[in-house]
Amino acid sequence: MFDLDRWREIFQAISKNKLRTALSGFTIAFAILLFTLLFGVGNGLKHTFEKQFAGDSQNSIYINSGRTTKPYKGLQSGRGIQFRNDDSKFINEKFPDKIQYFSPNIQRSMQVIYKGEQNRYTVRAVYPDYQPLESAVVEEGRFLTYLDVERRSKVVAIGRLVEKDLFGNLSAIGKNLNIEGISYKVVGVFSDPGGDNDERFIYTPFSTFQGMYKPNDELDYIGMTFNPDLNVDQAIAFSNLLTKMLKEKHNVDPRDQGAIRVRNYAEGTKNVQSFMMVLNVIILFIGIGTLIAGIIGISNIMVYIVKERTKELGIRKALGATPKSIVGMIMMESIFVTALAGYSGLMIGVFTLKALGKSLEKYFILNPSVETYVVVGATIVLVIAGTIAGYIPAKRAASIKPIVALNDE
Amino acid sequence: MIKIEKLHKSYPIGKDSLHVLKGIDLHIKEGEFVAIMGSSGSGKSTLLNIVGLLDTHDEGIYKLNGQVIENLDETKAATLRNKFLGFIFQSFNLITYKTAVENVALPLYYQGMGRKDRQKVAMKYLEKVGLKERANHLPNELSGGEKQRVAVARALATQPKVVLADEPTGALDSKTSHSVMELLKDINREGMTVFVITHEEDIAEQTDRIVRLKDGVIISDEKVNKTVTA
């Protein structure tokens, strides 16, 4: 394999027969290039969709209350439903194994002042579990803790843009914010993949606000995530049951859509998932198609190459080349050419994707890229195909009697 | 050197078979210069292919350098060809993308000789056939006579026991034919067994012994009376 003389023979054959080297190289390079581009663009589409739904956890459920729209059990319509702490307790007791994160929420739009700067922000009073619900990422300091909730601490975690608005380039950690006359200490700054709006929130312990801005046991709404072990259908069944039980608890008509509203992200996820699956199938189909076309191309060319070399192989045999050395020579040549061409096709594809990446964003193609293992796998498949495709005619050529090969014109 | 007894060979043609060699007996000693003559279809090329281990015989005994040739697989045949035989073909059969010296060195490559040594030996034989200064030319830059001399150098490079020449002058004009034959005679004088196939009487007469073939049998086998040409 690492016989230098043999490689010299091969390099000479490759470099002195440019047409056939170019032909086989081009087929492989082009197939891999197409494969890389298609896969990259497909992945770009996928990334776009993933980003659209990246703002919040994919397994979030939000429960809001409103007014009844139907009379039920002697109660009039238009009655306001108020969630209380016992609703939190009720849900957690009924579905301990279905819930991953859980947080009641009190939300106010409030005037926030730091020294000369002031602005109006949405302040949410939550449990520490709210952080994974929002997919918030702590950039500095920490998020809220259960100790904060227990102590009703006057602390806040603020969004990255709140810090930027009020503190400029300075760090907000440890500073005190004046929120409608009360001083809160900043313990953390977070970022949020959900975008600018999500980075203008301020979070404070749930217990701090309850009692101060709401009667002692009341809350605004509930956010939670379902256990990720549940599949989409199970998750939807869970939220349907939860809705039914809450409606019963608050004496709401089961058909009433206004009084208790449960929004389960799994429903959206389900649509996105089926769309993504279709997209994946299409990408896979195109990818496999490209590969098959490449395999057929390289096979044809290998047959042609061996045919073209029949006489040369006959001469070599007459001069003492064994069948093994003939087969080895052809195969090493074909592996070398296909591997090299495959690699260049791969590189051209990857760089094209890199170069075009930004300009494709307006066509809903975001960060078009290919996983290394996919393209390397595809290249290996083509190299193996080229090898097998070369092996069969090479084997045949090596077994032709030299006299027949010599007479080949 | 070459001993053939009751050699038969037939080729399948569709359902029938064509009986080409019908019992050839031939004994060629070391150092002989033999011409096989016959018209086309007489079986002379088939005989050379069998002798050259390029083809197999059906029946009879073939001994090359004392070794009985039978049931050879391709690998063994290739090794024997490389070791004992040198070929010269009518159509030269040089590899088109290799220079003269690379063509001469090729059988040495299959012998496993190192690159530098190959180059040296190949140059030595090119010098012998008078083409030293053409060593780095490709075959299509050489004349027919030069190509054939490269082929002769290639046949000699491995120092074979027997040189087999199939119509070596068939594609050459009479002047270059003559120079190629002189070359073969020189080789023979140095002790090499040379086995020429030809249908040209004047070529055959330059050898020492003429074996005439017709319809797959030997019809005559006689020494050439050397009328010494000045």
User: Are the Cβ atoms of B83 and A319 closer than 8 angstroms?
Assistant: no
User: Are the Cβ atoms of B78 and A8 closer than 8 angstroms?
Assistant: no
Which residues of chain B are within 8 Å of residue A312 when distances are taken between CB atoms? 95-96
> Residue B154: inside a domain, yes or no?
yes
User: B119 at the A interface (CB within 8 A)?
Assistant: no
User: Are the Cβ atoms of B78 and A323 closer than 8 angstroms?
Assistant: yes
User: A13 at the B interface (CB within 8 A)?
Assistant: yes
User: B99 at the A interface (CB within 8 A)?
Assistant: no
> Residue B205: inside a domain, yes or no?
yes
Q: Which among A16, A320, A324 is the nearest to B82, CB-wise? A: A320
Q: What is the span of the domain harbouring residue B120?
A: 31-56+73-223
CA atoms within 13 A on the CB side of B227: 2
User: Are the Cβ atoms of B79 and A316 closer than 8 angstroms?
Assistant: no
Which residues of chain B are within 8 Å of residue A403 when distances are taken between CB atoms? 49, 54-55
- DSSP secondary structure letters along A12-33: HHHHH-HHHHHHHHHHHHHHHH
User: A14 at the B interface (CB within 8 A)?
Assistant: no
Q: What is the pLDDT of residue A120?
A: 92
**Which residue type, as a one-letter code, is found at position A237?**
A
**Contact by Cβ (8 Å): A95, A234:** no
Cα–Cα dist A172/B77, whole Å:
87
User: B83 at the A interface (CB within 8 A)?
Assistant: yes
Domain holding B180: CATH number?
Answer: 3.40.50.300
Min Cα separation A400/chain B (Å):
10
Q: Which residues of A158-187 are buried (b: 16+ CB within 10 A; e: fewer)?
A: bbbbbbbbbbeeeebbebebebeeeebebb
Q: How many CB pairs under 8 A join A and B?
A: 69
Q: What is the pLDDT of residue B230?
A: 43
> Residue B114: inside a domain, yes or no?
yes
**Three-class HEC string of chain B:** CEEEEEEEEEEEECCEEEEEEEEEEEEECCCCEEEEECCCCCCHHHHHHHHCCCCCCCEEEEEECCEECCCCCHHHHHHHHHHHEEEECCCCCCCCCCCHHHHHHHHHHHHCCCHHHHHHHHHHHHHHCCCHHHCCCCHHHCCHHHHHHHHHHHHHHCCCCEEEEECCCCCCCHHHHHHHHHHHHHHHHCCCEEEEEECCHHHHCCCCEEEEEECCEEEEEEECCCCCCC
Cα–Cα dist A371/A253, whole Å:
52
Which of A261, A255, A262, A260 is CA-nearest to residue A72?
A255
Cα–Cα dist B137/B102, whole Å:
10
- At A241, list the tokens: 């049951």
User: A355 at the B interface (CB within 8 A)?
Assistant: no
Looking at the 3D structure of chain B, how many domains does it have?
A: 1
A13: closest chain B residue by CA: B97
> Residue B200: inside a domain, yes or no?
yes
Cα–Cα dist A316/A320, whole Å:
6
Which residues of chain A are within 8 Å of residue B154 when distances are taken between CB atoms? 319
> Residue B63: inside a domain, yes or no?
no
The tokens 């500073």 sit on which residue? A175
Cα–Cα dist A152/A54, whole Å:
31
User: Are the Cβ atoms of A13 and B87 closer than 8 angstroms?
Assistant: no
User: Are the Cβ atoms of B81 and A320 closer than 8 angstroms?
Assistant: yes
Q: What is the pLDDT of residue B27?
A: 92
User: B81 at the A interface (CB within 8 A)?
Assistant: yes
Query: Which of 277-336 (A) contact B at CB < 8 A?
Result: 311-312, 314-325
Query: Does the pTM exceed 0.80?
Result: no
Q: What is the DSSP letter of A73?
A: T
User: Are the Cβ atoms of A5 and B54 closer than 8 angstroms?
Assistant: no
Cα–Cα dist A12/A214, whole Å:
86
User: Are the Cβ atoms of B78 and A16 closer than 8 angstroms?
Assistant: no
Query: Which of 128-167 (B) contact A at CB < 8 A?
Result: 154, 158
User: Are the Cβ atoms of B54 and A402 closer than 8 angstroms?
Assistant: yes
ipTM of the prediction:
0.88
Min Cα separation A403/chain B (Å):
6
pLDDT tens profile B122-154 = 999 999 888 889 999 999 999 988 999 999 999
User: A406 at the B interface (CB within 8 A)?
Assistant: yes
Min Cα separation A367/chain B (Å):
47
Q: Which helix (H) or strand (E) holds A121?
A: strand A117-126
B114: closest chain A residue by CA: A5
**Three-class HEC string of A202-253:** EEEEHHHHECCCECCCECCEEEEEECCCCCHHHHHHHHHHHHHHHHHHCCCC
Residue A268 to residues A55, A63, A134, A240, Cα–Cα distance (Å): 13, 16, 16, 15
> Residue B164: inside a domain, yes or no?
yes
User: Are the Cβ atoms of A317 and B98 closer than 8 angstroms?
Assistant: no
Cα–Cα dist A128/B66, whole Å:
96
Greatest Cα pair distance, chain B, in angstroms, is 55
User: Are the Cβ atoms of A5 and B78 closer than 8 angstroms?
Assistant: no
**Contact by Cβ (8 Å): B149, B180:** yes
Which residues of chain B are within 8 Å of residue A16 when distances are taken between CB atoms? 97-98
> Residue B3: inside a domain, yes or no?
no
User: Are the Cβ atoms of A16 and B106 closer than 8 angstroms?
Assistant: no
Give pLDDT < 70 ranges for chain A: 1-2, 52-57, 408-409
Which of A338, A345, A323, A347 is CA-nearest to residue A385?
A338
> Residue B197: inside a domain, yes or no?
yes
User: Are the Cβ atoms of B107 and A320 closer than 8 angstroms?
Assistant: yes
Q: At what angle do helices A4-16 and B100-111 cross, to 10 degrees?
A: 150
Name the strands in the sheet holding B16-28, side by side, starting at the edge strand that comes first in the sequence.
Answer: B16-28, B2-13, B59-64, B67-68
- At A174, list the tokens: 């440890």
- At A274, list the tokens: 């089926």
A4: closest chain B residue by CA: B115
Contacts 24+ apart (CB under 8 A), B66-69: none
Q: What is the pLDDT of residue A57?
A: 64
User: Are the Cβ atoms of A406 and B93 closer than 8 angstroms?
Assistant: yes
Give pLDDT < 50 ranges for chain B: 230
Which residues of chain B are within 8 Å of residue A323 when distances are taken between CB atoms? 74-75, 78
As a residue count, chain A comes to 409
